[in-house]
């Protein structure tokens, strides 16, 4: 553990149905990925556990599911129309377009790139002799600001006024609903709103599998607090999120916190830290925590003309704009991290190597696999009966696999991270005492490889627990 290269995860994901290249039969669409049957299960589980921890698990949180399409004024107010841009440079030789700051970051580190002003990007690229990744020449144009929002038209009439954007962050859906939530949900400060949903950014340099894509999913929280208390809640959220990642088995030594320098802060932030993970290509942002102060509510108040202030229920004369602490998770990046971290190659006693995804059992696509030892009708019938019982009597998700030798089926379950496999054999149907008594099955543990024989009733009781 963990995966040594991204290729190990890309290939396992395709081979085992976690993540496929998007539009595959048409030769793909660059940097789009589709979550396959197992990826969809994994993704749902990541979202569900996130929601359980941060929304259902806390008295001070509620959820929201806002539209992707929003009034274009939202993005003027939020500052994204004016400020959400990256420095784009062109290679004068081969015309390759790329992000100048990323090239500088690769050579001189994240801190050096972060403090650069747009007019410093080209001189720095030339002074450091940073070559074009495509043709190798050092011939860069001046950097231009490239807005990352996807634009589209709403309705049948083209033209001004119909232009809208695909949201580049889910956060704004929470800000524009702030009043609705306060008025309907009897909220008291501090309180937070959690939301999971798609966001879109026309990234100049997407890549590294699902790490940076143009369509991705965020799991965001806007936590509203009384001004003056934000520093305390910032620390609390930092600790809570750090613990959340550790609780899914991410090794401490591959996580670190990086504080943004003053020149690097987003237009809305007065303090930001990232939790970074040591990806196979180096440290990269997994999660961001920002102090957005009252920036967004103030801007929406200004642009919409609506009063966005919060009235203290105990003192109606006390009206103010709350400050906001924002923990922002990338769902896809979290999944990529869980996959990388789970990837394990083990040499067995017989000298063979087994690949096993040691996913946290709460995230594994299947809780259990039910494997009839052979294709004999009676065995399959018995195994199907067991499958039905488990599904009816527990809320576990089971795979049912009859294809290939039992060894190959165990291998597959290891590679998809199924924590337990149950084998229905000739003993189960009373035809082989050496394998076990009638109505007993073998349960095999993914990590220890230990096998235990127990009765079906005991098994059901154990699974219920
Ligand atoms: N509302 C604040 C916000 O959007 P961000 O740091 O730009 O902050 C938050 O994004 C998280 O969203 C990141 O930490 C990352 O996990 C994820 N993310 C951002 N851009 C992404 C992209 N192009 N592809 C995949 N995930 C992305």
CA 204–ligand 1 middle distance (angstroms): 14
Q: Residue 126's domain is classified under what CATH number?
A: 3.30.40.230
Write down the pLDDT at residue 162: 86
More confident residue, 118 or 244: 244
pLDDT at residue 76, rounded to an integer: 95
In this prediction, residue 234 carries a pLDDT of 98
Predicted local distance difference test score (pLDDT) of residue 144: 92
Atom 12 of ligand 1 has which residue's CA nearest to it?
330
Ligand 1 centroid to Cα of residue 162, in Å, is 27
Share of the chain above pLDDT 70, in %: 99
CATH at residue 223: 3.30.930.10
**pLDDT tens digits along 85-116:** 889 999 999 999 899 998 998 898 877 777 77
In this structure, is residue 185 part of a structural domain? Answer: yes
The residue whose C-alpha atom lies closest to atom 2 belonging to ligand 1 is: 328
**Residue range 60-76: mean pLDDT, rounded:** 97
Domain shared by 392 and 417, yes or no: yes
pLDDT at res. 160: 66
- pLDDT of 98: 93
Statement: residue 7 has pLDDT above 70 = yes
Quick one: 370 and 293 in the same domain? Answer: no
What total number of domains does the chain contain?
Answer: 3
The CATH number of the domain where 409 resides is what? 3.40.50.800
Residue at a domain's end among 308, 341, 374: 341
Identify the CA nearest to 193 among candidates 51, 45, 44: 51
143 and 181 housed in the same domain: no
Give the end of a domain, one of 324, 341, 358. 341
How far, in Å, is the centroid of ligand 1 from the Cα of 411?
35
Find the range with the poorest average confidence among 33-42, 208-217, 265-274, 388-397.
265-274
What is the domain extent for residue 397?
Answer: 366-464
Over the stretch 380-425, which tens digit does the pLDDT of each residue have? 999 999 999 999 999 999 999 999 999 999 999 999 999 999 999 9
Mean pLDDT (whole number) for 231-257: 97
Residues 327 and 390 in one domain: no
Q: Ligand 1: which residue has its CA nearest to atom 5? A: 288
Examine the domain organization and report whether 193 and 116 are in the same domain: no
**Between 118-127 and 100-108, two packed helices, what is the crossing angle to 10 degrees?**
50
Domain end marker among 341, 375, 401: 341
Within a domain: 351: no
Query: Residue 187's closest CA among 324, 315, 59?
Result: 59
Q: Which residues pair with 420 in a beta bridge?
A: 368, 445
**What is the rounded CA–CA span in Å between residue 461 and residue 425?**
20
Tokens 């539209």 found at: 67
CB atoms within 10 A of CB 318: 12
Question: Do 228 and 319 belong to one domain?
Answer: yes
Same-domain check for residues 253 and 230: yes
Residue 159 pLDDT > 70, yes or no? no
| 157 found inside a domain | no
Does 221 share its domain with 273?
A: yes
Average pLDDT, the chain: 95
Which is higher by pLDDT, 435 or 189?
Answer: 189
Q: How far is the CA of 199 from the centre of ligand 1 (A)?
A: 9
* The pLDDT of residue 264: 83
Residues 6+ apart with CB under 8 A from 250: 277, 337, 338, 341
- Give a yes or no: residue 214 inside a domain: yes
Ligand 1 atom with the shortest distance to the CA of 290: 2
Query: How many percent of the chain have pLDDT more than 90?
Result: 87
Q: Are residues 63 and 202 both part of a single domain?
A: yes
User: pLDDT band at 263, cuts 50/70/90?
Assistant: confident
Residues 186 and 128 in one domain: no
Radius of gyration for the chain, computed over Cα atoms and rounded to the nearest angstrom: 26
| CA-285 nearest atom, ligand 1 | 14
Helix (H), strand (E), coil (C) string for the chain: CCCCCHHHHHHHHHHHCCEEECCHHHCCCCCCEEECHHHHHHHHHHHHHHHHHHHHCCCCEEEECCCCECCHHHHHHCCHHHHCEEEEEEECCCCCEEEHHHHHHHHHCHHHHHCCCHHHHHHHHHHCCCCCCCCCCCCECCCEEEECCCEEECCCCCCCCCEEEECCCCHHHHHHCHHHHHHHHCCCCCEEEEEEEEEECCCCCCECCCCECCEEEEEEEEEEECCCCHHHHHHHHHHHHHHHHHHCCCCHHHEEEEECCHHHCCCCCCEEEEEEEEECCEEEEEEEEEEEECHHHHHHHHHHCCCCCEECCCCCCCEECCEEEEEEEEHHHHHHHHHHHHEEEEECCCCCEEEEECCCCCCCCCCEEEEECCCCHHHHHHHHHHHHHHHHHCCCCEEECCCCCHHHHHHHHHHHCCCEEEEECCCCCCCCCCCCCCCEEEEEECCCCCEEEEEHHHHHHHHHC
The answer to the question of residue 358 being in a domain is no
Kindly state whether residues 141 and 179 are assigned to the same domain.
no
Decide if 76 is inside a domain: no
At residue 9's C-alpha, the angle toward residues 4 and 13, to 5°, is 165
Does 308 fall in a domain?
Answer: yes
User: 387 C-alpha to center of ligand 1: Å?
Assistant: 40
Q: 321 with 267, same domain?
A: yes
Residues in contact with ligand 1 by the CB-under-6-Å rule are: 169, 171, 201, 203, 212-213, 216, 218, 220, 285-288, 326, 328, 330, 332-333
Domain assignment of residue 400, yes or no: yes
């Amino acid at each position: 553990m963990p995966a040594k290269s991204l290729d190990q995860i890309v290939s396992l994901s395709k081979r085992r149905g976690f993540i496929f290249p998007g539009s595959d039969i048409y030769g793909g669409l660059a940097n789009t990925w589709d979550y396959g049957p197992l990826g969809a299960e994994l993704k749902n589980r990541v979202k569900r556990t996130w929601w359980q921890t941060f929304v259902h698990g806390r008295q001070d949180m509620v959820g929201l599911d806002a539209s992707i399409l929003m009034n274009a004024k939202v993005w003027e107010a939020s500052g994204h129309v004016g400020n959400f841009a990256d420095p784009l440079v062109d290679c004068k030789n081969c015309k390759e377009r790329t992000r100048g700051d990323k090239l500088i970051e690769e050579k001189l580190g994240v801190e050096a790139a972060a403090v650069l002003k747009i007019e410093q990007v080209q001189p720095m690229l030339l002074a450091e002799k940073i070559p074009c990744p495509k043709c190798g020449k050092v011939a860069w144009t001046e950097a231009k600001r490239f807005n990352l929002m996807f634009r589209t038209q709403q309705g049948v009439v083209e033209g001004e006024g119909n232009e809208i954007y695909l949201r580049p962050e889910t956060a704004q859906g929470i800000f524009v609903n702030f009043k609705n939530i306060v008025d309907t949900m009897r909220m008291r400060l501090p309180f937070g709103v959690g939301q999971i949903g798609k966001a879109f950014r026309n990234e100049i340099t997407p890549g590294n599998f699902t790490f940076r894509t143009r369509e991705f999913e965020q799991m965001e929280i806007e936590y509203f607090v009384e001004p003056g208390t934000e520093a305390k809640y910032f620390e609390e959220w930092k600790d809570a999120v750090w613990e959340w990642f550790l609780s899914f088995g991410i090794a401490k030594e591959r996580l670190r916190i990086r504080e943004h320098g003053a020149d690097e802060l987003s237009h809305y932030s007065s303090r930001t830290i990232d939790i970074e993970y040591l990806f196979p290509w180096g440290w990269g942002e997994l999660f961001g925590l920002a102090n957005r102060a009252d920036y967004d509510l103030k801007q929406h108040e200004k642009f919409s003309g609506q009063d966005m202030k919060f009235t203290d229920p105990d003192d109606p004369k006390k009206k103010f704009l709350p400050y906001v602490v924002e923990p922002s998770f990338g769902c896809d990046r979290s999944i990529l991290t869980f996959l990388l971290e789970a990837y394990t190659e083990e040499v067995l006693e017989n000298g063979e190597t087994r690949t096993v995804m040691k996913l946290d059992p709460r995230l594994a696509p299947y809780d259990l696999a039910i494997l009839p030892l052979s294709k004999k009708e009676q065995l399959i019938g018995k195994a199907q009966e067991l499958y039905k019982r488990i599904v009816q009597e527990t809320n576990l998700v089971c795979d049912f696999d009859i294809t290939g030798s039992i060894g190959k089926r165990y291998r597959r379950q290891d590679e998809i991270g199924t924590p337990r496999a149950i084998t229905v054999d000739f003993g189960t149907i009373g035809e082989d005492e050496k394998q076990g008594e009638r109505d007993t099955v073998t349960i095999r543990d993914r990590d220890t490889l230990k096998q235990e024989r127990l009765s079906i009733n005991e098994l059901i009781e154990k699974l219920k627990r």
